[in-house]
Amino acid sequence: MSMDRLIEKIVQTQNPTVAGLDPKLEFIPAAIKEKAYKAYGHTLKAAAKAILEFNRGLIDALCDIVPAVKPQCAYYEMYGWQGVKVLYKTIEYAREKGMYVITDGKRNDIGTTMEAYAVAHLGEVAVGEERCTPFGADALTVNGYLGSDGISPLLKVCAAQDKGIFVLAKTSNPSSGELQDKPIGDTPVYRVMGEMCQQWGQALPGKYGYSGVGAVVGATYPEQLGMLRKELSATFFLVPGYGAQGGGAQDVAGAFDTNGLGAIVNSSRAIMTAYKKESGAKESEYAACARREALRMKEDITRYIGEIRLPEQK
Amino acid sequence: MSMDRLIEKIVQTQNPTVAGLDPKLEFIPAAIKEKAYKAYGHTLKAAAKAILEFNRGLIDALCDIVPAVKPQCAYYEMYGWQGVKVLYKTIEYAREKGMYVITDGKRNDIGTTMEAYAVAHLGEVAVGEERCTPFGADALTVNGYLGSDGISPLLKVCAAQDKGIFVLAKTSNPSSGELQDKPIGDTPVYRVMGEMCQQWGQALPGKYGYSGVGAVVGATYPEQLGMLRKELSATFFLVPGYGAQGGGAQDVAGAFDTNGLGAIVNSSRAIMTAYKKESGAKESEYAACARREALRMKEDITRYIGEIRLPEQK
């Protein structure tokens, strides 16, 4: 099962983190951009070429020490269909290098439309007599505001294709409480959503106790993170908000179980732009700097959780 | 302001409906598909070519009688980046033909990531010294689960580029109540979301009384639709669920104000596949059949609301 594969990669690398690939042009070394502009002008095609080269460099530098990457769809769509083509190529390259790929799309819709998103990002589509892979990620982030009609179509595709999803529960942003903290009876919205994740996950049981339906819970709300970890024993967490958004290693410690499993913590900008902060680093060393930052983050988090172990199989 | 342009198109065509463009391959006449397969094999490229020809035929047949089209992203992403390229070309073609384009993406994220989605679908992105248009729609559907941090970045782009958004409030699906009907104090979640839309809209006032922040409210919940119409006087509604999902003309009548404005009702499948239901129709007549179905839907709805008039300007 898809979440089992992620867990095995985490244990193998002893690293419960995921590198976000949010390649805004301003994050990319000038030399890479200039080469693309020279070949293709100041066009979306040039932007796309630069992003792909940058991403491949990062993936090469990270693939043996980081278990997963999380490309954020918005930064690819921002460069038009040419950017979306690079999303496809980035996913393909990361998977070739053995990484688990979480497409961060926060997709949501109902019925056949949600099924189309599932097929798009996790499945295969029939064209005439062939079956084609539109994007081919291992997991997709989704928004559960529409209820079970928005999630059930995903579960079918996940079961058939060995894929997983992460549903937004408590997001890392300051205003997430405007809706998510509002009480429904005695239970805030984010916990209602967490309980729905736990239920949806029953359709995709995993051999290490975590289902194929994970939840997104922000590092910036450590109290809620710890509470949800206790309540949602079968729900794996994707934890954004570490680093740039203010969450520290101590804040995410409560997301893990006694085996050091149960969560994967994301860092995007700090890894991608490490070369801008490392003293004396050249732009051309961006990949090596990203690797050092990824290792620093791994050490920062794992000192709170110790060795990561596979539990007894269920 | 963007919603003003939509309102003017609705009055001009006397038609408060939008044609959804959800081009699954199974909806497309065999002759169009066979031509594409012959040229490009059973590939995503062939699928994309067939979809574009189908969409252009529909747009040609509808552009003088229907004010807007609503391409649903999922059905383009399902055919990979090649499909997403057709989303771009469909938007471009519909706008050339004078139609208002609502991209149905239900996008959601926070901060700079949401800004990237806004730029992607409604704005322009800088590449070197040039400004490029990634997708260029007039409006985008979004999901407000993340709160104001997810909406504010859109409002900036909408103000600068004369664009609008529609935020999910009460969706048309059977399980929408699992979260959306749950009471927060005495107020169900969907009304809390509706009130947030009304507030967000204050940043984008329109000259006909409707702001640039609309709401999605399903035709399948006529009571809630009518109640929200009364409560949210500055919020224009995008109403899915008419036809295939079970909403009738009487069910949507409550979405309109006394000028016959305040809502635009979507129909996707019934228009796209009208040729499959019209007795004696050939596949090659799909565009003419779509036009007849669109006119039938217009008559069906407008008999409840009468002539559509521009209100006094505010």
How many separate domains does chain B show?
1
Distances (CA, A) of B108 to A109, B146, B270: 12, 7, 28
| Residue A311, in any domain of the structure | no
| Residue A72, in any domain of the structure | yes
| Residue A127, in any domain of the structure | yes
Cβ contact (<8 Å) for A134 and B83? yes
Strand pairing report for B237-239 and B213-217 = parallel
Of A41, A130, A148, the CB nearest to B42: A130
Domain span at residue B234 reads: 2-302
Q: pLDDT digits over A148-168, tens only?
A: 888 999 999 999 999 999 999
Tokens representing B180? 């959306």
B214, β-bridge pairs? B166
Please indicate if any CB of chain A lies within 8 Å of the CB of B39: no
**B38 pLDDT above the threshold of 90:** yes
Interface residue of A178, A217, A220 to substitute, partner B, most B CBs within 10 Å:
A178
- What is the model's pLDDT at position A314? 62
Strand pairing report for B130-132 and B125-127 = antiparallel
The owner of tokens 């205003």 is: A175
The interface residues of chain B toward chain A in range 185-244, judged by CB-CB distance below 8 A, are 185, 189, 192-193, 196
Tokens representing B93? 């073609």
Please indicate if any CB of chain B lies within 8 Å of the CB of A154: no
**Count of other CB atoms within 10 angstroms of residue A40:** 17
- What is the model's pLDDT at position B314? 62
**B30 pLDDT above the threshold of 70:** yes
* B195 confidence band (pLDDT: 50, 70, 90): very high
Higher-confidence residue of A314 and A280: namely A280
The owner of tokens 């129709």 is: B281
| Residue A271, in any domain of the structure | yes
Residues B126 and B146: their CA atoms lie apart, in Å, by: 27
Interface residue of B21, B77, B193 to substitute, partner A, most A CBs within 10 Å:
B77
Of B77, B84, B168, the CB nearest to A117: B77
Nearest by Cα to A167 from A137, A190, A138: A190
Model pTM greater than 0.90? yes
Interface residue of B37, B109, B172, B221 to substitute, partner A, most A CBs within 10 Å:
B109
The interface residues of chain B toward chain A in range 89-108, judged by CB-CB distance below 8 A, are 106-108
Chain B residues closer than 8 Å to A111 by CB: 173
- A with B: how many residue pairs have Cβ under 8 Å apart? 237
Residue B6 distance to chain A (closest CA, Å) = 24
| Residue B309, in any domain of the structure | no
8 Å CB contact between B68 and A106: no
Smallest CA–CA distance from B111 into chain A, residue: A173
- What is the model's pLDDT at position A244? 75
- Where are any strands of DSSP class E within chain A? 17-21, 68-71, 100-107, 125-127, 130-132, 139-142, 164-170, 183-184, 187-188, 213-217, 237-239, 263-267
Q: What's the whole-number mean pLDDT along residues B291-305?
A: 97
Please indicate if any CB of chain B lies within 8 Å of the CB of A246: no
Q: How many residues does chain B have?
A: 314
- What is the model's pLDDT at position B312? 79
Chain A residues closer than 8 Å to B173 by CB: 110-111, 146-147, 149-150
Tokens representing B18? 């939008």
Cβ contact (<8 Å) for B84 and A79? no
Q: Which residues contact A26 (CB under 8 A, 6 or more apart)?
A: none
Cβ contact (<8 Å) for A146 and B22? no
Q: Give the 3-state secondary structure percentages of chain B, helix then strand then coil, rounded to 5.
A: 50, 15, 30
- What is the model's pLDDT at position B231? 96
Residues A235 and B210: their CA atoms lie apart, in Å, by: 42
Cβ contact (<8 Å) for B22 and A74? no
Q: What's the whole-number mean pLDDT along residues A77-97?
A: 98
**Is residue A136 left, alpha or beta, with left meaning phi > 0 and alpha meaning psi from -120 to 50?**
left
Distances (CA, A) of B141 to A161, B121, B122, B217: 29, 10, 11, 12
**B294 pLDDT above the threshold of 80:** yes
| Residue A308, in any domain of the structure | no
Q: Which secondary structure element, helix H or strand E, spans residue A37, and what is its range?
A: helix A30-40
What CATH number did the domain enclosing B297 receive?
3.20.20.70
User: What is the set of active-site residues of B?
Assistant: 106
**Count of other CB atoms within 10 angstroms of residue A307:** 9
| Residue B311, in any domain of the structure | no
Chain B residues closer than 8 Å to A128 by CB: 33, 37, 41-42, 46
Secondary structure class of B4 (helix, strand, coil): helix
| Residue B259, in any domain of the structure | yes
**Count of other CB atoms within 10 angstroms of residue A85:** 21
Q: pLDDT digits over A5-48, tens only?
A: 999 999 999 999 999 999 999 999 999 999 999 999 999 999 99
Q: What angle do CA B166, A139, A236 make, to 5 degrees?
A: 100
